[in-house]
Structure 1
Amino acid sequence: MNALKRSSQVAYKRWKDRNISFVTSQTDDKSVLTVHEEQPGKDEPGDEGVCTIQEQVDLEDSKNRSSGISETFTVEEAVEAIGFGRFQWKLSMLTGVAWVFWALGAVFEVLLAMVVMPTLGWKWLLAFSTFPLVVFAASCCWLPESARFDVLRGREDKALDTLKYIAAANGSSVPTGRLIANIQTDRGRITDLFIPEYRKTTLLVWFIWFCNAFSYYGIVLLTTEMFQAGSACSATDNSNMEPRCSLECNNLTFADYLDLLWTTLAEFPGILITLWMIDRIGRRKSMAICFVLFSVSILPLYACTQRTVLTVFIFIARACITGGWQVAYVYTPEVFPTATRAIGIGTGSGMARVGALITPFIAQVLLKSSVYLTLSVYLICCLLGAVASWVLPMETTGRSLQESTQSTMEQKNMERPHGSETTESSSNTCPQ
């Protein structure tokens, strides 16, 4: 595994700068690779030098195996070799399945409220809502441990068993050799998100997460407010304004709960359509389309529509924003390298919570003053989210998970059209 990585790095460096040559020497059973820079104008070894270097490294690797020197690999290399890091449709599928259970929880909550609220009240509704959390806490002991955590704790056997289980599920095998820990001496920091290569991506991803949470919880709150008012036009009538401050909760009717259930069920088609679309047109276009369709679904709410029409367009809007948020969950861990991946997801989720905190002041407080201004806020927010999705610098569809910023930049250079042509021409000159 190390020899293969070293071979590809040498070949890439030689391809990138044709004035560099390499000489391999053997000292104390160790192979030393020396770099020589050639003066322009002298005879260049050509692309055959790349093939010669790779043959030398491969020959060294075979000698090491024959002499009993075992190869080593890390958890990250094993996961990518198994296929999870290279074929992102599995990551998309797992994220989609997680969102399906999110939707199931939302449906369960509506059904629970339909039964509990008219008889026992909101306190018992909160009490019954904690039951799934109790079940999850009791079942945590059966969750498999992270292979990387086991390696760092010195439990290589358990980590290898976990990797073998993953490989069997993917129909592949674990790389041969000894599993070692890849200790990060330089852990990711939040300032790493603002280096020149990732500054634009970070800001756009944060804004996309904000728009998703702001619009998702906004449409949820707008649904109950508009259903209570009876229509979009009567949501701002003075008759519906509270004459004084009161802690009394106005209960929804059975018809309100039924329509709320229908709009909640919209999350299922939104998730399934996004799963079908995400690997066909790409992550950026998928997010942009979801934001645009959400904005289009908001437009009919400006008119004094009937209850059925109101329910249908809220259904479409909720399906679109659910799908868009799902794509953000897939895109974010793919676009950031390993060192900053957790920080990127965490800060993005933090921006989503900011949007969730702000949206009640729009969907409930501002709605009492102007329903048109409220809808305009969500409309403009999602249009800006569509623009942010469209101008993201990197598309991650079909791209392997990156270990570092350098590897990300190298892969972007390798994926350029002229780079692919050069690589193809180089491979054709290798001696048979």
Structure 2
Amino acid sequence: PAYGWQVALLITAIPAIYALYLRIALPDSPKYEKLSQERKPTVVENVKNVWSRKYARPTAMLWIVWFCVVFSYYGMFLWLPSVMVMKGFSMIQSFEYVLIMTLAQLPGYFSAAWLIEKAGRKMVLTVYLLGTAVSAYFFGSAESLALLLASGMFLSFFNLGAWGALYAYTPEQYPTSIRGTGAGMAAGFGRIGGILGPLLVGYLVARGTEISMIFLIFCVAVIAAVAAIFFLGTETKQKELA
């Protein structure tokens, strides 16, 4: 309130400047450097290889999962303060409660990072995404403060845990020569979901759709991601990468 939203956006732009430094300063992996010395493939060749017969299945799986995860995350979390206000809380209370909920993201990340080496990538992704779907359902239909906070914290925990596991799982689907292209394209396709999710919520809210029904849509999206992993995904735990 004292400085306006412009200052907040300027502060959050600082990591983008840091990313430019990383782009210049960080070296490529030794294996990629060796491949580049032999023959550096073009961007068009990499894109074709990502969708070649050999990698079309993992690519399709990743694009579905990334789209659904990012769609549900931004659709739900960007609207959390507004959802709390719609449920009868003041704006200040809403931001306080959302802060408490989002703190649960940290143990979600750490637990997923530990479990993927114990239980495997597919298992962790499946369990955490199902936990996201269940939490989203209860959050959307909750009326009491206790249930809102509890389901919101579990929503943060499971959703960000799944996202962390997905970051580990994605590059393991491709060999060194197309790993960056494959992972980048999947994440980029997911950002389309990140655009559509919040817009869909705003559209439905304007039309008077109930919050419980909106969160049910995100439940279905997350379950679609689980189905893609179950039917199209392969376990990469303790496997040597090509």
Name the TM tier (shorter chain). 0.7 to 0.9
| TM-score (structure 2 length as normaliser) | 0.86
CA displacement at 1:363 relative to structure 2: 2.4
Match of 2:116 in 1: 278
Match of 1:208 in 2: 65
Match of 1:395 in 2: 235
Give the one of 208, 214, 229 matched to 1:374: 214
CA displacement at 1:332 relative to structure 2: 1.3
2:151 partner letter? F
Structure 2 CA distance, aligned partners of 1:185 and 1:144?
Answer: 19
Distance 1:143 1:313, change over 3 A: same
Match of 2:166 in 1: 328
Match of 1:386 in 2: 226
1:183 and 2:21 correspond: no
CA displacement at 1:220 relative to structure 2: 0.8
1:376 partner letter? L
Distance 1:334 1:373, change over 3 A: same
CA RMSD in angstroms comes to: 2.7
For residue 189 of structure 1, give the secondary structure of its aligned residue in structure 2. helix
CA displacement at 1:125 relative to structure 2: 2.0
Match of 2:150 in 1: 312
For residue 120 of structure 1, give the secondary structure of its aligned residue in structure 2. coil
CA displacement at 1:147 relative to structure 2: 5.7
| TM-score (structure 1 length as normaliser) | 0.50
Match of 1:430 in 2: none
Larger relative helix fraction = 2
CA displacement at 1:120 relative to structure 2: 1.8
1:73-127, CA deviations, whole angstroms, 9 ceiling, x for partnerless residues? xxxxxxxxxxxxxxxxxxxxxxxxxxxxxxxxxxxxxxxxxxxxx2121122223
Match of 1:24 in 2: none
CA displacement at 1:230 relative to structure 2: 2.9
Match of 2:53 in 1: 196
> Which runs of 5 or more structure 2 residues have no equivalent in the other structure?
none
- The aligned runs of 1:79-228 (5 Å cut-off) are 118-134=1-17, 136=18, 140=22, 143-146=25-28, 148=30, 182-184=37-39, 186-187=41-42, 188-228=45-85
Distance 1:277 1:147, change over 3 A: closer
Larger relative strand fraction = 1
- The aligned runs of 1:337-376 (5 Å cut-off) are 337-368=175-206, 369-370=208-209, 371-376=211-216
1:132-185, CA deviations, whole angstroms, 9 ceiling, x for partnerless residues? 445x26965994533649967xxxxxxxxxxxxxxxxxxxxxxxxxxx974225
2:2 partner letter? T
Identity among equivalent positions (%) equals: 22
- The aligned runs of 1:13-28 (5 Å cut-off) are none
- Say whether the 8 Å CA contact 1:216–1:321 is kept in structure 2: yes
- Say whether the 8 Å CA contact 2:75–2:197 is kept in structure 1: yes
Structure 1 CA distance, aligned partners of 2:121 and 2:113?
Answer: 11
CA displacement at 1:211 relative to structure 2: 1.1
- Say whether the 8 Å CA contact 1:285–1:389 is kept in structure 2: no
Structure 2 CA distance, aligned partners of 1:140 and 1:339?
Answer: 21
Structure 2 CA distance, aligned partners of 1:378 and 1:150?
Answer: 38
Aligned length: 238
Distance 1:141 1:337, change over 3 A: closer
